[in-house]
Structure 1
């Protein structure tokens, strides 16, 4: 029994059907949670050390690091039943869409810093940190994730690949 199957077995029946119906989205969310931790760790590691005067650059590097991990996890887990493209074509599309996603992730932080001037010396260090976290790690993440979910399903992993789909395993818990 896979980890997903064992988790689904513990979910109450009405929610189990919903979870199975939206399993790609749930897996995408788990991958997002993992890469959120990577993104946050890299962002603050850089922002509080070598890139202290350049938080947007730190954010871009953090998103790129998280994106590399995200591709592997999404390809091999979240969207493993989709595909049909050659791996190099799929990877190219993934990283092009992710590059566009960097703008979505970084724009709220840039607006917070350079439009609203929520950084020192215009505000306190405490307000700066709250604004950076809210705009970069929450708003940016939500906007970027919504864009990537839509774009990945539309262009990178567009349709189910029936040759890899195993209905018995994927739907065993719905019976």
Structure 2
């Protein structure tokens, strides 16, 4: 029995049913949490070192790396029971939608820095850091995640097997249970 199955078996039936009904969203959220830490780590590593005068560039690079990891995890885990697209078509759509997501992730940081001037010398270093974290890591993340969840389910990993199944039916049945 896997660890998630073991944990699930210990929960009340009503909660089990709720979690199973929304398992795809929970997996997507877990992938999001993993890539949040990747994004945040890279963003601050770049912003506080080699790209200190370019925080938006740091953010874009961090989101791009996190997006690559996200594709692999979402394709192989979150949405593995969905399909219908050939791998190259799926990847193209994924990265196109993620490109829009990069803009959504980065836009609040750009607004904070360049429209609201929440940066030194206009404000203290503490206010700058709090504004960068709030706009780049919270507001941007929520905007981008909501858009990506909707778009991935609609276009990248559709329910209707449009171009034929990617996985054989026997494997899909095993993955669902």
Give me the TM-score of the superposition, normalised by structure 1.
0.92
4+ runs of 1 displaced by more than 4 Å? none
Whether 1:108 aligns to 2:108 is yes
Who is 2:82 aligned against? 82
Contact 1:42 1:62 in 2 (8 A): yes
Partner of 2:11: 11
Mapped to 2, the partners of 1:50 and 1:152 lie a distance apart of 33
Q: How well do the aligned residues superpose, as a CA RMSD in angstroms?
A: 1.5
Q: Which runs of 5+ in 1 are unaligned?
A: none
Once the 2 structures are TM-superposed, how far is the Cα of residue 57 of structure 1 from its aligned partner? 0.2
How many pairs are equivalent? 170
Instruction: Output the CA distance in 2 between the equivalents of 1:93 and 1:6.
Output: 35
Q: TM-score, normalised by structure 2?
A: 0.91
Partner residue, 2:172: 165
The answer to whether the 8 A contact 2:81-2:176 is kept is no
Runs of 5+ consecutive residues of structure 2 not aligned to the other structure: none
In 2, Cα distance between equivalents of 1:134 and 1:160: 38
Shift of 1:160: 5.8
1:33 and 2:33 are equivalent in the alignment: yes
